[in-house]
Amino acid sequence: MFQKVLIANRGEIAVRIVRACRELGIRTVAVFSEADRTALHAQIADEAVCIGPARTADSYLNIRAILAACELTGADAIHPGFGFLSENAAFARTCEKCGVTFIGPTPEAMELMGDKATAKTTMKNAGVPVVPGSDGLVTTLAQAKVIAEEVGYPVMVKAAAGGGGRGIRKVDTPDQLEDAITAAKQEAKNFFGDDGVYLEKFIVNPRHVEIQLLADNFGNVIHLGERDCSLQRRNQKVLEESPCPIMTPSLRKAMGEAAVRAAKACGYRNAGTVEFLLSGKDFYFMEMNTRIQVEHPITEMVTGVDLVKRQIRIAAGLPLELKQSDIVLHGHAIECRINAETPSLNFRPSPGRVQGLHMPGGPGIRIDSAMYQGFEITPYYDSMIAKLIAYAPTREEAFMKMKWALAEFLVEGVDTNIDFQLNLIKDPDVEAGAYDIGFLGRHPDLIPKGPAV
């Protein structure tokens, strides 16, 4: 087992990893930017090293500085969390060259699955259902037009690299295709440094369902059920739940087996997630996230499996002690992402000092956060300040718990999306599980009106 783990991240996920390491008896090193000197993760780790100015390129994306901190403190492993360098194959490869264990998949698996077009071809060859579309990148407008006509409009233009909803454009008619490709390529170039795009058939009103995986270094791969992540705003997840409210045992088995085939096809190890579009009884591979997910807590709640500790154990060379038959889903869990933003102003980020804070509690309530009273929320990073999780034996009870938890959650000094989440969780269609990835686009009435109080 590792002696010391450096956490190449910030915020709630860094705090989460520190706590998992403590339970395993591992010392931790936090890295922080100058803007995060008073951040919680930097305060609770055993050691903390400043790695640069606030700008992410100079700090949390600064590979040299992070590895220098690793050498300075004698850390023998690095956990990247999610975002930042978590899916950067060059970083993982550099860690290997420096004799530091990267707690995640191999660089080769990241490269294979990080390019969405290549990943799609790999999945197709492995017998995993894929959305009809281009085989690989689209390089000319003429090629794109032929493919779009073959699969039928509407189609989606998607960036081959990256994620987070960037580099994606929906095309309803042939005359929109050229502008959509140009815009998607430009956005992909700006965010990922790669302007490659591919085309897919647009599946009308599907659900976004993802399967959590664990894979060790000995060829053992298991899945831990699914999460429904269909409630999205502009391709960004807002609320997630597990299990999926329309899932059946036979469909779960089929999707889980497909996800396991996907992992084996790319020689995957560690924790990962295969994302599918679900339309009726048909499902299609969308992408694979080669990291721990923001929404991993709800899987932990319904399975009782600590995914972060399993990540660390796998990276240390230990075999999975779990078999597929050991995984049984119990109860229901929901996660609401709490962001410092102003929903009535197009969800504009709301940085500032947390002047007052009350977090809800009680049986079945979990909060993953790095926020505290007096904490300064800076404008430099993602606006998510907490993840509120409610767990109960039934979906109805979980929803009731979440309503009361949101009503109790108080953050003063900055605007938040708590009222928006409360509107969402109270909506009759959401309560009934009758939603899809286009739901929020069709319900602007759920967004609170007027300035936040």
pLDDT digits 0-9 by tens, 322-345: 999 999 999 999 999 999 999 999
Cα–Cα distances in Å, from 261 out to 123, 258, 267, 322? 8, 5, 10, 18
pLDDT of residue 191: 82
pLDDT category of residue 164 using cuts at 50, 70 and 90: low
**How high does pLDDT run on average in the chain?**
95
The stretch 10-20 carries a mean pLDDT of 98
- Does pLDDT of 276 surpass 80? yes
pLDDT of residue 162: 65
User: Of 26-30, 157-161, 197-201, which has the strongest mean pLDDT?
Assistant: 26-30
Nearest by Cα to 195 from 147, 154, 142, 139: 139
| Domain boundaries, given as residue ranges, for the chain | 4-103, 132-201, 207-446
Q: Which residue has the higher pLDDT, 235 or 258?
A: 258
pLDDT category of residue 283 using cuts at 50, 70 and 90: very high
Tokens matching residue 112: 């294979």
Segments of 280-425 assigned E as strands: 282-289, 332-339, 341-342, 348-349, 352-353, 356-358, 365-369, 376-377, 384-392, 410-412
pLDDT of residue 120: 84
Q: How far apart are the C-alpha atoms of 105 and 288, rounded to whole Å?
A: 12
pLDDT of residue 453: 47
- Find all residues with CB under 8 Å of 121, minimum gap 6, and list them: 135, 136
The stretch 200-215 carries a mean pLDDT of 95
pLDDT of residue 163: 67
Active site residues: 291
pLDDT of residue 449: 85
Model confidence pLDDT, tens digit, residues 84-101: 999 999 999 999 999 999
The stretch 425-448 carries a mean pLDDT of 96
Tell me the whole-structure pTM to 2 decimals.
Answer: 0.90
- Does pLDDT of 317 surpass 50? yes
Question: 4-103, what's its fold?
Answer: Rossmann fold (3.40.50)
Question: Residue with structure tokens 């010391």?
Answer: 4
Q: Is the peptide bond before 132 cis (omega within 30 degrees of 0)?
A: no
The stretch 215-239 carries a mean pLDDT of 96
Question: Residue with structure tokens 């509120």?
Answer: 388
Task: Answer for the pair 13, 292: CB distance below 8 angstroms, yes or no.
Answer: yes
Q: What is the CATH number of domain 207-446?
A: 3.30.470.20
Strand bridging mode 376-377 / 341-342: unpaired
Question: 132-201, what's its fold?
Answer: Dna Ligase; domain 1 (3.30.1490)
Decide whether 4-103 matches 207-446 in CATH topology. no
The stretch 207-213 carries a mean pLDDT of 98
pLDDT category of residue 402 using cuts at 50, 70 and 90: very high
- Find all residues with CB under 8 Å of 289, minimum gap 6, and list them: 87, 163, 210, 272, 273, 275
Model confidence pLDDT, tens digit, residues 21-73: 999 999 999 999 999 999 999 999 999 999 999 999 999 999 999 999 999 99
pLDDT of residue 220: 97
- Does pLDDT of 409 surpass 80? yes
pLDDT of residue 115: 81
Q: Percent of the chain at pLDDT above 90?
A: 91
